A and B are shown apart, each in its own frame.
Chain A
Amino acid sequence: MASAFPDPIGRAPSGISGLRRGFPAAADGTGEASSPESGGRGPEAIRLEGVVKRFDDRTVLRDIRLNVGEGEFVAIVGRSGCGKSTLLRLVAGLETVSGGKLLRGGREADGIDPAIRVMFQDARLLPWKSVLDNVKIGIRGLSSKDAEHKAREALRLVGLEDRAGEWPQALSGGQRQRVALARALAGQPRILLFDEPLGALDALTRIEMQQLIERLWERQRFTALLVTHEVSEAVALADRVILIEEGRIGLDVPITLARPRERDSGFAHFEKRILDRVLTPGDRLTSPLDRLKDAIPYI
């Protein structure tokens, strides 16, 4: 299953990817982040081969080719309505593809996968369960005692272990989203999907949450797919930023900045480059064949 040849469109050659991924590990030098190299090898965590998604007669995604390596953090940006959330819902198994192939962990996707967790824009905590019990929802197949232990540990990771017994309504929006993050992490998922998880938070809380997500990702090395309309958030978190324009991948930029990310000139460079492209969708990075397909409806 392992693809010997990197996909020509979807992904940078693995050699470069390895170099890039080695960079943050050398920079922070902690033991926990010692195996980032594995990202470029083995079967990809997520692989989309010419995926098409239609709702009735409206085509939302056309011919998406994308590989996400094991442990890689990929952000998907784009204007609202460009199809980025649909892409995430496809990967989550909440929608099915209309054409092409979607592989998760080397196998064709079939519905909801317990190894995949989703964090939504709203926390979606059950108001009738305590914070701790909400986190326990994310843990399957363990005895109640073990599950509670794990849930408490997940709450500790997000810094809310002292709020375990409270109702979700007693928490602020940022705290609720942290509980949702703990719930997503408690099951130790291989893949974590973020659907604009910080969109509803204020600017300060958002930056704190970004740092928290980055820290936890470096610790646990799950594969992360982040959908956001905020370019700076994508640059702050991701190894690679993918821009979706009108249902196609318009840009695929590796972010070669050290972690933890500082908002310095390098950061600004990447942010500007992606933003410029978002604002002026001009020449597309698509193959001639794609351009031809594009032109056909207008003939």
Chain B
Amino acid sequence: MRLLSGRKIRGRLSGEVWLPWIVPLLALAVWQLAGSAGWISSRVLPTPVQVLEAGIRLIGSGELARALGVSTGRALIGFAIGGGIGFALGLLNGVASLAEKLTDSSIQMIRNVPHLALIPLVIVWFGIGEEGKIFLVALGVSFPMYLNTLHGIRSIDPGLVEMGKVYGLGRGELYRKVILPGALPSILVGFRFALGIMWLTLIVSETISADEGIGYLAMNAREFFQMDVVVLSIILYALLGKLSDMIAKWLERRWLQWHPHFRTPSGARQAA
């Protein structure tokens, strides 16, 4: 550390970029070492190299791409439906108190039911086809979107809305220029939550009932004791979750540049 702080700022910055990687890389090294030395049986936990080999094998056969595509498709369709419904309901209840009185308490009640508890019901309704999984994802995703959109709209400074009215903004313009941008930080928090729930729901519903996708890959491999493929599936979920989190973060940085919390240190663009 002493050495790093002695360098120029640029050098220190790139050092900070590498900092979060140290722990995972160290863990990987220990894991590999433990496997190669025979401390952990590869029947219990395959080594990282074995997992990597399994990955390459599955990429080569095209199985991995297919599973990824199916799972991502399910996740995104469910997210679009559930997120859209949650957002629309939040928007509606945020601005129309009649709609809120009518629906909010019912929505809160349904929200408190763990949506994964519906799996037996969903299997009866939809079988093990696509609809059931998309339904579960949509259901799980809609609540964080709903809650955070509603919260975002409610927490807008009423002074700004009043200003908009005095300055002659029509209803549509008031939404576009004041209400939506004001609610956006909270909506994006809901978006991030929803992404997490999206993967969680998908993983559970795919392991219980599926004939393709990453979950199916893992469950199928378990039957044949292909532990490398099982671990690979788990890592894939982790990577997908991380990827969607990065997308959400990127959106926050892009859309909330005005927000002091997200302002980048190199915000010179604003001084143009």
Residues of A within 8 A of B (CB): 92-94, 112, 114, 116-118, 120, 122, 124, 126-130, 137-138, 140, 165-167, 169-170, 183, 187
**Chain B residues whose C-beta falls within 8 Å of the C-beta of A114 in the assembled complex:** 168
**Interface residue count on the B side (C-beta < 8 Å):** 25
CA distance in complex: A187, B166 (Å): 12
Q: Are A94 and B166 in contact (CB under 8 A)?
A: yes
Interface centre among B177, B256, B257, B270 (most CB of A within 10 A): B270
Q: Are B182 and A140 in contact (CB under 8 A)?
A: no
Q: Are B159 and A122 in contact (CB under 8 A)?
A: yes
**Within the complex, which residue of B160, B257, B260 is in contact with A126, where a contact is CB–CB below 8 Å?**
B160
The verdict on A137 contacting B271 (CB below 8 Å), with A120-B163, A124-B160 known, is no
Nearest-Cβ distance from residue A185 to partner chain B, whole angstroms = 12
Majority SS at the chain A contact face: loop
**Within the complex, which residue of A130, A169, A183 is in contact with B260, where a contact is CB–CB below 8 Å?**
A169
**Within the complex, which residue of A117, A122, A129, A167 is in contact with B167, where a contact is CB–CB below 8 Å?**
A117
Q: Are A165 and B272 in contact (CB under 8 A)?
A: yes
- Nearest residue (CB) in A for B181 is A128
CA distance in complex: A183, B169 (Å): 14
**Chain B residues whose C-beta falls within 8 Å of the C-beta of A129 in the assembled complex:** 177, 181, 258
CA distance in complex: A53, B254 (Å): 47
Residues facing A in B126-184 (CB within 8 A) are 157, 159-160, 162-169, 177-178, 181-182, 184
Q: Does B259 contact A (CB under 8 A)?
A: yes
CA distance in complex: A109, B271 (Å): 42
Q: Are B270 and A170 in contact (CB under 8 A)?
A: yes
Q: Are B272 and A112 in contact (CB under 8 A)?
A: no
Q: Are A137 and B162 in contact (CB under 8 A)?
A: no
**Chain B residues whose C-beta falls within 8 Å of the C-beta of A122 in the assembled complex:** 159
**Chain B residues whose C-beta falls within 8 Å of the C-beta of A112 in the assembled complex:** 165-166, 168
CA distance in complex: A127, B157 (Å): 11
**Within the complex, which residue of B162, B168, B181, B260 is in contact with A94, where a contact is CB–CB below 8 Å?**
B162
Q: Are A126 and B177 in contact (CB under 8 A)?
A: yes
Residues of B within 8 A of A (CB): 157, 159-160, 162-169, 177-178, 181-182, 184, 256-260, 263, 270-272
Q: List 7 A-B pairs, minimum CB-CB distance, nearest first.
A: A124-B163, A128-B181, A128-B258, A165-B272, A114-B168, A118-B166, A167-B258
Q: Are A137 and B177 in contact (CB under 8 A)?
A: yes
**Chain A residues whose C-beta falls within 8 Å of the C-beta of B178 in the assembled complex:** 126
CA distance in complex: A275, B182 (Å): 42
CA distance in complex: A127, B258 (Å): 6
**Chain A residues whose C-beta falls within 8 Å of the C-beta of B166 in the assembled complex:** 92-94, 112, 116-118
- Nearest residue (CB) in A for B166 is A118
**Chain A residues whose C-beta falls within 8 Å of the C-beta of B167 in the assembled complex:** 117, 137-138, 183, 187
Q: Are A124 and B270 in contact (CB under 8 A)?
A: no
Interface centre among B163, B166, B178, B259 (most CB of A within 10 A): B166
Interface centre among B157, B168, B259, B260 (most CB of A within 10 A): B168
CA distance in complex: A129, B169 (Å): 15
**Chain A residues whose C-beta falls within 8 Å of the C-beta of B256 in the assembled complex:** 128
Name 25 A/B residue pairs within 8 A (Cβ), A-sorted. A92-B166, A94-B162, A94-B166, A114-B168, A118-B163, A124-B159, A124-B160, A126-B160, A126-B177, A126-B178, A126-B181, A128-B181, A128-B182, A128-B259, A129-B177, A137-B169, A137-B177, A138-B167, A140-B168, A166-B271, A167-B257, A167-B258, A167-B270, A169-B258, A187-B167
**Chain B residues whose C-beta falls within 8 Å of the C-beta of A187 in the assembled complex:** 167
**Chain A residues whose C-beta falls within 8 Å of the C-beta of B162 in the assembled complex:** 94, 124
Taking A126-B178, A128-B256, A166-B270 as known contacts, 15 extra A-B pairs with beta carbons closer than 8 A to each other, sorted by chain A number, are A112-B165, A112-B168, A120-B163, A124-B159, A124-B163, A127-B259, A128-B182, A128-B258, A137-B164, A137-B177, A165-B270, A165-B272, A167-B263, A169-B258, A183-B167
**Chain B residues whose C-beta falls within 8 Å of the C-beta of A128 in the assembled complex:** 181-182, 184, 256, 258-259
- Nearest residue (CB) in A for B180 is A128
CA distance in complex: A118, B157 (Å): 17
**Chain A residues whose C-beta falls within 8 Å of the C-beta of B259 in the assembled complex:** 127-128
- Nearest residue (CB) in B for A131 is B270
CA distance in complex: A34, B169 (Å): 35
Nearest-Cβ distance from residue B218 to partner chain A, whole angstroms = 43
CA distance in complex: A137, B170 (Å): 12
**Chain A residues whose C-beta falls within 8 Å of the C-beta of B163 in the assembled complex:** 118, 120, 124
Interface centre among A116, A124, A129, A169 (most CB of B within 10 A): A124
CA distance in complex: A128, B257 (Å): 8
Nearest-Cβ distance from residue B222 to partner chain A, whole angstroms = 49
CA distance in complex: A122, B167 (Å): 15
**Chain B residues whose C-beta falls within 8 Å of the C-beta of A116 in the assembled complex:** 166
**Chain A residues whose C-beta falls within 8 Å of the C-beta of B272 in the assembled complex:** 165
CA distance in complex: A127, B181 (Å): 9
Interface centre among A128, A130, A165, A167 (most CB of B within 10 A): A128
